[in-house]
Each structure stands twice: as structure tokens, then as C-alpha cells.
């Protein structure tokens, strides 16, 4: 068994080192480009336009004669997804050369926080653009954290989501993050990855978690975890204590006994990889025996999870904006592990990637052509001010809405992502994701914007020294009065004690700040909306899990669900256990709503 462990480590070292070498060239050219961002971005734009000038879109906008940025901006307007929907519908019916000269490989459903119905065309050239950013990130990781070279990795793999779009002649969706890389890299990743990518074919979430844990527990070499939402990992680990004995038994016997059913052909493929490992089973048993209190530290200050994976040194995940509270929960589980904030990677394209030692994430200047709309008034929809700035014109500490042009056929496409410039690497902007711009709740004309809500809540939490582990503003309907009101659903950390009087003041503060929005104040004055309320979620009631599960049922991939502070969905009180402040503490939440004051 010891010889097998040594052989496994040698294979990992070879695969990781080979991958690092493949990433070197793209990383090298990125660092060269940081010294002249204007020129690098111009080359990217002209490459995209030249490649796609003979398409339906290219002919309509006369792309063939464009030689500079100004001409491009004068012929193509900034547009959201709706503008491209007709083109993409034609692509789905098999029509060619619509947006791109390259064939469309697949249509990837958007799994963002505001919609699950967008379909983004992917070409081989778009994959290359993603690789320009991702390879620079990977090379930076391996050269500055070289202990990762001898370990395995777990990358975000989500259970399959059923897609209703059945009339497309183009394949819909890809399985996991490895799909961004080419065939050679994917062969290497098959060696590096601790969990086989086919787990994405499991539809049942509990079974998916069990099978994923079965493979992760077996891999003592795990050194790196790359996920998106931090809660994806905390929720994955949550049933480990309950399932630990059965998981250890499976590892000892080379079996697989998940809580739900698995397709027989799929299970057969899993069992080929489920090798019997009695030594690892004994190691895990010795660790589990000391699991008296969940997440308790051992004598060397390491948690149960750090004992299980002693080589784990880095976790990559979202950490900006609304993901920050979830990072605190992750640090409780892995207090000694480095957590690297991810850059901004959307379904439509890669905007930025992190670099060790740099604040923020580097704009992926060799991937797509970027433009930015400056946001001068954080409470106003910035779509009215469509004059854009280029990457080399950005200023530190200012906020911008991102516009991209890609080889996937999106030209001057408004991503609806708000970023802040936090610094520069040479001339390359270092940016931080702030919020979604397009996430708006507008039931009766109130036009609440996630960016504004995020600002209000951050200010209020600081003022009242609140440390929520989960929070969400969403509309509810008063059965008694027949009108809507907004409720702030908040779950506090167990050591964050605050009395009802202070919480009532917070609700008043919330209402006052919401009325800074003219449209919201108008709806309040007309009686279309009732005043906002505060809903305190019962501790340890799995609010984050409930949120993720509801988003998944709405069609989003579980691993990619972004934390959000604003939802337009009515009726979260049906799913979250707790009480409205100022009302009776009863289990029947709907009786609380009926007693609206």
C-alpha cells in the first residue's frame, strides 16, 4: 500500500508539473501585456472582428471595415442579453455563421443570480479566451504555492440540472470547470482530480454528496479545492458526521452505498474507481473516534477536516460582496487553510482572475475586449450613461459596469456586473466584484436594486454590530391587508446576541434607507407597499441550504449559485423557520403574516 501511495504522488507531480508547463506561455504573454494594456486590448478586439466579419451580425454592422475602437463603438451599441436572443434562437435551430464564423459547440445555460433562462453560445475560440485567463491563474498558483504540485485537487462539480429546452439542435450545457480546458489538459486533470467528473450525472443531491465524499475521503493527497459558492463546500461536508461510519466501511470494502439510487451503468463506472483501501479506512476511523463535538480542534489546533486532509493548503472560492459571511463559516471549518478569493468569471466570459500577493483580481486583458460604464450615482440605474471607458482609462476606487466583446459572439454585451478598481499591476486594473446590477425587484413599481440594498445592509450591520451568517431581502404578502411588504430575512451567528428593541430599530433604519429610493417611497406613500419588517431565522435552521435548494429547483447549477442579498420571489417565510420582530413567536409563520400590524 505504501508503494501505491508513492506511485500516486509521483503521478500527481508529473501531471501537475505538465499542466503548469502548458500554462506557462499564456501566463508569460499576459504579464507582457500588462505593460501596454491599450495595445493588448486593441489586438484582442481586431482579432475578434476580423474572425467574425463574414457572419450575419458582422455584415449587418459592417465589421469588416472597422480598424479602431471608435469605429466599433459607433457601429455597435451596448446591449443586454435580450438583444441577442433572436440570434441565439436561430443558432439553436442549427443556422450557421449567425454571430460567429466558428461553429457553436454548445449553448451554456446561465446560472447567475438573476436568471436561469439565458443560453450563451460557446465556440472553440471562446474556450481559448477562457484559457488565456485561467492558465495565467494556474501558473501563478503552481509557481507561488509549489506544494500544490504534489497533491490532488477537487474542482467544482455540480449534480446535473434538468433543462427544459428540448428543441435545440445544439447541445446544451457542459458538466464542470474542466470543460474550459483542452483535451491534453483534461487528460492531466483526470489524474489530478480526486473526484471523477461523472458524478455530475447524479441527479439526486444527497446521493451526489455521498458519492463525492466517498472519493474525497479516500484521497489523502488532496491539496487544493476550487469551488464557487463557499456554501457549496460547507453543505457538502454537513452530512459527513452522520455518514462517516458507512463511508469508512465503503472505503474499507471497496463498495459504494449511497442513500439514494444510482443508475446501474453509472454505479458500475464508480465501482471501477472505488478501490479497497483498508489502511485509509483505519486512518479515518482513528480520526472520527475523536469527533466528540462537530468541528472541535485537536491538540495541534487542527479541525477534523484538516486531519482528514493533512495536505490541503488552499481553497479557491468567491469571497467578495455577499459571499463574505459564508467565508467566515468556511474559516471555522478550515482555520489554518489559505482561502484565495476567486476573480469574476461569468457564463459569458472571464473578467478577472486572482494573483497571489495582489489585492483584487487582474483584469483578463488577453481574453476579451472590455469596456466599462462608470457608475457615478450608486442609487441610479447606470444604463442611461452609455459612454464607456476602456481598460487603460480606469481609475482607482471608482465603480464600473462591465461590457464585454467575446469570440462567443457577444459584442458590447452588458454583463450587469458592478466592479470596483482597487489597484493596478503595471497598467492592468485589479478589480473587485461588488454586486449584480440587473438584480431588481419590482412588484408594484418600487424598482429595488441589489447594489443599493447591499450598501444599505452593510451600513446597517456595521451600525448595529451584527454578524449575520445569512441574510436576504425579499417581498412578502400580508394576507390580512392584501398588500406586499419587504422582509429582511436574517440568521445571526450564535455568539451575536441582540435584543428585540435593537432589532426593531434596525427594521426602522431599513425602512428609512429603502425610502431613499424615490420609486420605493412613492409606492409606500400610495399604500402599494407596507413598511419593511425584520424576520429573524432560527439558529442552525440551514437557511443557506434552503436558499441553495430553492435556487437549484429553479434551474440553477448547485455549485454555481451566487449569494444574493435581494430576491424578487414572494414567500420565503414558507421555507425559513423563524419569526417577524414585533410579532408572536409561533411556529406557524403564516399566522405571523396574518397578524400584520
Reported in sequence order, the residue ranges of 105-199 that DSSP labels E, i.e. its strands, are 106-109, 119-122, 152-155
Q: Alpha helix locations (H) across 365-514?
A: 450-463, 500-514
Cα–Cα nearest to 473, from 462, 457, 459? 457
With a CB cutoff of 8 Å and minimum separation 6, the contacts of 86 are: none
With a CB cutoff of 8 Å and minimum separation 6, the contacts of 580 are: 487, 533, 534, 535, 573, 592, 593
Cell numbers 448595529 label which residue?
A: 464
Question: Looking at residue 113, what is its pLDDT?
Answer: 41
Residue 326 CA to residue 319 CA, distance in Å, equals 8
C-alpha cell at 427: 497598467
Question: Looking at residue 542, what is its pLDDT?
Answer: 77
C-alpha cell at 100: 460567429
Question: Looking at residue 383, what is its pLDDT?
Answer: 43
Residue 560 CA to residue 309 CA, distance in Å, equals 24
- The per-residue pLDDT string of the chain (597 residues; one tens digit each, 9 = 90 and over) reads 566 677 888 999 999 999 999 999 999 999 999 999 999 999 999 999 999 999 999 999 999 999 999 999 999 999 999 899 999 999 999 999 999 999 999 998 774 444 446 889 999 999 999 999 999 999 999 999 999 999 999 998 766 555 555 577 888 876 566 667 778 888 898 899 999 988 888 888 889 999 999 999 999 999 999 988 887 888 889 899 899 999 999 999 999 999 988 888 999 999 999 989 999 999 999 998 877 654 455 556 678 999 999 999 999 998 876 677 778 888 989 999 999 999 998 889 999 999 999 999 999 999 999 999 998 754 444 444 468 999 999 999 999 999 999 999 999 999 988 999 999 999 999 999 988 877 788 887 788 888 788 888 888 888 888 888 889 999 998 877 678 899 999 988 776 677 888 888 889 999 999 988 878 887 888 778 899 999 999 887 778 778 877 877 766 666 566 678 888 888 899 989 899 987 644 333 333 333 343
Beta bridge partners of 297: none
Maximum distance among all Cα pairs of the chain, rounded to whole angstroms:
76
Question: Looking at residue 1, what is its pLDDT?
Answer: 57
Residue 212 CA to residue 273 CA, distance in Å, equals 12
Q: Which uninterrupted H or E stretch holds 441?
A: strand 440-441
Q: Please give the full DSSP string across 372-401, using - where no structure is assigned.
A: EEE-S-TTS-GGG----EEGGG--TT-EEE
Cell numbers 480526486 label which residue?
A: 194
Query: Helix or strand or coil: residue 45?
Result: helix
Q: What angle do CA 214, 219, 223 make, to 5 degrees?
A: 125
pTM (whole model) above 0.95: no
Cα–Cα nearest to 123, from 337, 329, 409? 409
The answer to whether 541 and 491 are in contact (CB under 8 A) is yes
Question: Looking at residue 68, what is its pLDDT?
Answer: 95
Q: Alpha helix locations (H) across 254-311?
A: 264-273, 278-289, 304-308
Residue 132 CA to residue 362 CA, distance in Å, equals 12
Work out the angle between the directed axes of helices 183-192 and 2-33 (0-180°, nearest 10).
Answer: 140
Question: Looking at residue 594, what is its pLDDT?
Answer: 37
C-alpha to C-alpha distances, 54 to 48, 96, 176, 409, 542, nearest whole angstrom: 12, 11, 32, 12, 53
The answer to whether 572 and 474 are in contact (CB under 8 A) is yes
Query: Helix or strand or coil: residue 477?
Result: strand
Amino acid at each position: 500500500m505504501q508503494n501505491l501511495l508513492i506511485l500516486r504522488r509521483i503521478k500527481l507531480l508529473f501531471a501537475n508539473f505538465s499542466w503548469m508547463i502548458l500554462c506557462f506561455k499564456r501566463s508569460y504573454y499576459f504579464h507582457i501585456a500588462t505593460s501596454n494594456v491599450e495595445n493588448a486590448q486593441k489586438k484582442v478586439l481586431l482579432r475578434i472582428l476580423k474572425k467574425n466579419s463574414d457572419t450575419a451580425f458582422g455584415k449587418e454592422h459592417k465589421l469588416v471595415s472597422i480598424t479602431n475602437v471608435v469605429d466599433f463603438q459607433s457601429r455597435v451599441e451596448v446591449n443586454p442579453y435580450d438583444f441577442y436572443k433572436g440570434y441565439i434562437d436561430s443558432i439553436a435551430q442549427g443556422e450557421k455563421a449567425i454571430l460567429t464564423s466558428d461553429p457553436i459547440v454548445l449553448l451554456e445555460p446561465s446560472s447567475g443570480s438573476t436568471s436561469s433562462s439565458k443560453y450563451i453560445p460557446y465556440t472553440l475560440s471562446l474556450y481559448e479566451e477562457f484559457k488565456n485567463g485561467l492558465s495565467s491563474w494556474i501558473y501563478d498558483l503552481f509557481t507561488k504555492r509549489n506544494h500544490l504540485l504534489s497533491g490532488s485537487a477537487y474542482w467544482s462539480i455540480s449534480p446535473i440540472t434538468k433543462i427544459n429546452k428540448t428543441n435545440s439542435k445544439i447541445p446544451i450545457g457542459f458538466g464542470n470547470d474542466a470543460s474550459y480546458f483542452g483535451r491534453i489538459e483534461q487528460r492531466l486533470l483526470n489524474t489530478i482530480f480526486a473526484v471523477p467528473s461523472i458524478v455530475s450525472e447524479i441527479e439526486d443531491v444527497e446521493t451526489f454528496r455521498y458519492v463525492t465524499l466517498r472519493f474525497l475521503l479516500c484521497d489523502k493527497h488532496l491539496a487544493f479545492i476550487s469551488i464557487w459558492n463557499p456554501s457549496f463546500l460547507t453543505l457538502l461536508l454537513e452530512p459527513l458526521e452522520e455518514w462517516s461510519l458507512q463511508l469508512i466501511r465503503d472505503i474499507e470494502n471497496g463498495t459504494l452505498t449511497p442513500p439514494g439510487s444510482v443508475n446501474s451503468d453509472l454505479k458500475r463506472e464508480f465501482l471501477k474507481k472505488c478501490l479497497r483501501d483498508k489502511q485509509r479506512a483505519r486512518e479515518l476511523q482513528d480520526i472520527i473516534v475523536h469527533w466528540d463535538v462537530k468541528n472541535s480542534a485537536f491538540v495541534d489546533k487542527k479541525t477534523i477536516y484538516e486531519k482528514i486532509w493533512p495536505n490541503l493548503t488552499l481553497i479557491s472560492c468567491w469571497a467578495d460582496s455577499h459571499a463574505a459571511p459564508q467565508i467566515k463559516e468556511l474559516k471555522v471549518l478550515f482555520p489554518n487553510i489559505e482561502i484565495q478569493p476567486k476573480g469574476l468569471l461569468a457564463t459569458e466570459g472571464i473578467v478577472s482572475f486572482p494573483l497571489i500577493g495582489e489585492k483584487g483580481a487582474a483584469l483578463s486583458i488577453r481574453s476579451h475586449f472590455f469596456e466599462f460604464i462608470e457608475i457615478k450615482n450608486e442609487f441610479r440605474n447606470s444604463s442611461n450613461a452609455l459612454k464607456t471607458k476602456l481598460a487603460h482609462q480606469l481609475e482607482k476606487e471608482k465603480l464600473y459596469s462591465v461590457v464585454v466583446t467575446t469570440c462567443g459572439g457577444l459584442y458590447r454585451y452588458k454583463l450587469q456586473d458592478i466592479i470596483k478598481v482597487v489597484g493596478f499591476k503595471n497598467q492592468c486594473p485589479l478589480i473587485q466584484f461588488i454586486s449584480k446590477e440587473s438584480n431588481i425587484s419590482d412588484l408594484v413599481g418600487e424598482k429595488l436594486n441589489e447594489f443599493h440594498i447591499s450598501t444599505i445592509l452593510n451600513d446597517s450591520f456595521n451600525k448595529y454590530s451584527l454578524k449575520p451568517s445569512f441574510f436576504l431581502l425579499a417581498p412578502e404578502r400580508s394576507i390580512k391587508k392584501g398588500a406586499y411588504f419587504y422582509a429582511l430575512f436574517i440568521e445571526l451567528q450564535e455568539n451575536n446576541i441582540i435584543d428585540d428593541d435593537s432589532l426593531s430599530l434596525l427594521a426602522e433604519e431599513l425602512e428609512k434607507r429603502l425610502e431613499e429610493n424615490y420609486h420605493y417611497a412613492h409606492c409606500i406613500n400610495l399604500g402599494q407597499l407596507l413598511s419593511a419588517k425584520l424576520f429573524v431565522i432560527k439558529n442552525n435552521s440551514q437557511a443557506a441550504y434552503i436558499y441553495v435548494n430553492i435556487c437549484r429547483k429553479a434551474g440553477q447549477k448547485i455549485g454555481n449559485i451566487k449569494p444574493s442579498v435581494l430576491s424578487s420571489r414572494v414567500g420565503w417565510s414558507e421555507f425559513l423557520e423563524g419569526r417577524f420582530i414585533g410579532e408572536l413567536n409561533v411556529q406557524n409563520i403564516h399566522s405571523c403574516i396574518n397578524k400584520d400590524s
